[in-house]
Amino acid sequence: MIETIEQLIKAEIDCQHLTVEGDGSHFSVVVVSEAFADLRSVKRQQLVYGTVNEHIASGAIHALTIKAYTDAEWQKVKHFQ
């Protein structure tokens, strides 16, 4: 399912960085894209959810934690991880 989530997100969002982790039906993603510029956190999450919505609706994905950053934000955040 990790590969499926990666493919779905990459098909809709031009990602500079994408990490998908999880097992079963619980996943977390880190998405870095300039598509998030000028978008608030909720809009960023909605954009990502939209790419996998079919799998959420079917129950294949039960929980999805999203961290969505622009490249500049990611450069700052990754130094603290």
Domain residue spans of the chain: 2-80
Confidence class of residue 7 from pLDDT cuts 50, 70 and 90? very high
Q: Report the pLDDT value the prediction gives residue 25, as an integer from 0 to 100.
A: 86
In tens, the pLDDT along 53-77 reads 999 999 899 999 999 999 999 999 8
Residue 80 has pLDDT above 80, yes or no: no
Superfamily of domain 2-80, CATH level 4: BolA-like (3.30.300.90)
Residues in the chain: 81
Q: Is the distance from CB of 74 to CB of 32 less than 8 angstroms?
A: yes
14 or 78, which is more confident: 14
Contacts with 66 (C-beta within 8 Å, 6 or more apart), sequence order: 28, 29, 31, 44, 45, 48, 49
With a pLDDT cut of 90, the percent of the chain lying above it is: 85
pTM over 0.85: yes
